[in-house]
Amino acid sequence: MITSPAFRGKRYAVLGLARSGLATVQALLASGAHVTAWDSNEEARTKILPGTGRGTARSVVEGESGVALASRGTASAERPLHRPADDPPPRAGEDFVLADPLSIDLAGFDGIVVSPGVPINRHPIAGAAKAAGVPLIGDIELFAQARASLPPHRVVGVTGTNGKSTTTALIHHIVASAGVPAMLGGNIGLPILRQQPLAPNANGAGVYVLELSSYQLDLTQSLACDVAVLLNITPDHLDRYDGFAGYSASKGRLFKMQKANQVAVIAIEDDPSRAIAAGVVGGLVTITAADAGDQKDWPALQGPHNAQNVSAAVAATRALGIDEAVIEAALATYPGLPHRMERVAEKAGVLYVNDSKATNPTSTAPALAAYPAVHWIVGGLAKTDDLDACEPHLGHVRGAYTIGDSAAMYERLLRGRVPVVENVGTLEHAVRRAAAVAVAGEVVLLSPACASFDQFRDFEARGDAFRSLVEGLT
């Protein structure tokens, strides 16, 4: 894991114990920090405790001393614990306490590390941190602070409303194809702090390629990316911001953290992105989708949306000094991402495509554009109350099957605009219904234009469910 002597002896509160939160706790403890952690989910709290009953605990009651056995599987806000007994013995100072940071005195803490999923615009932790004069940060900021103690390396940060994952993975693929040590992190792959630091090799210093959501950027203050990439900005996550301008400003943070000798790669195809480009202080490379040229030799990078992804990835890897021949060869061998226009199966001439990662209408539009005859599974937890971005491509839709929390709204929006609209409620019913009516040459497309949290843990679980349902078709 990534650790740093910069954290030794410091005090941190960690709020949220999902994947990034757990990795943060482990990295801070391994660095010699004092950690207080909490999650409102009791199961998440219990998982972080020693499961064998062999862990140790020190009482926080003033004046009490000695060591006692930790209760098996019981999470308590009053029982400080070291790491599980199966881990290496904790060094002095690696105290771990379970306590809600809203219930303790935060004075003297060096940071409150918040999961990106915590809505800091309305969660009381933001006010508590401000009152105590303690910075609210995320795991990406901890990585930024740890960089000074890592082997020589460079960082590429990728943000934007749509295309982040594909562009991040494509940059990683090109860098790795050049024989340079490379690591995916941020909003993709394993949490960055859980991974092993990159060591340089004969081809150069390692490159960390980070997908960065607006939520992560809100919690980051010092990540100076050697190459920072902005793809596009369209309305998204507006429940977390004071309007679209606030969301756009969050994306712009990535470039305000850069130094004058670093490179910004920005697609200038929307007004907010052009405005951010105008304020860049370092080296600026502007791109458009047209820069990609002919995509015919890149099987996993078809469609107009991927043209912008390719343009950004090529510009970013050129800025890293990757050879042009390596870049071109890597574009041809890029395998694509699960859950993003993923071809799951073809049955009786009908193609089934998993685009579960399309969590807003702008992200769904390219999938509708790519296929001329679509049975569209749409719905979930809506981020907007319209499908305007999909409007130009509704002529491709043979039937729409609405699911989830937004099923009734989308049924109403699509009625009379596509030949068939059915409110089927669940993904299972949608797959069965679409499979029953689709004919050879048509596509059954899961591209929900919505978040998944109404019916699934995340978009990956939704995509996996779609794949399983398709595999079960007879």
CATH code 3.40.50.720 for 5-137? yes
How far apart are the C-alpha atoms of 103 and 68, rounded to whole Å? Answer: 24
The predicted model scores a pTM of 0.77
64: left (phi over 0), alpha (psi -120 to 50) or beta: beta
Per-residue DSSP letters for 452-465? Answer: STTTSSSHHHHHHH
- Using the predicted structure, report yes or no on whether residue 114 has a pLDDT greater than 80: yes
316, 156 Cβ separation under 8 angstroms = yes
364, 410 Cβ separation under 8 angstroms = no
Q: Which two tokens stand for residue 389?
A: 């971005």
Structural domain boundaries of the chain? 5-137, 144-333, 342-471
pLDDT tens sequence across 379-434? 999 999 999 999 999 999 999 999 999 999 999 999 999 999 999 999 999 999 99
Instruction: Name the superfamily (CATH) of residues 144-333.
Output: Mur-like, catalytic domain (3.40.1190.10)
| pLDDT for residue 50 | 55
pLDDT tens sequence across 147-163? 999 999 999 999 999 89
What's the mean pLDDT in 25-36? 94
The CATH class of 342-471 is alpha beta
Contacts of 239 (CB under 8 A, 6+ apart): 119, 383
Burial string for 369-407 (b: 16+ CB within 10 Å, else e) reads bbbeebbbbbbbbbbbeebebbeebeebbbbbbbbbebb
Provide the CA 365 distance to its chain's centre, in angstroms. Answer: 20
Alpha helices in 223-340 (DSSP H): 243-256, 271-278, 304-319, 324-333
444, 434 Cβ separation under 8 angstroms = yes
| pLDDT for residue 218 | 95
- Using the predicted structure, report yes or no on whether residue 275 has a pLDDT greater than 60: yes
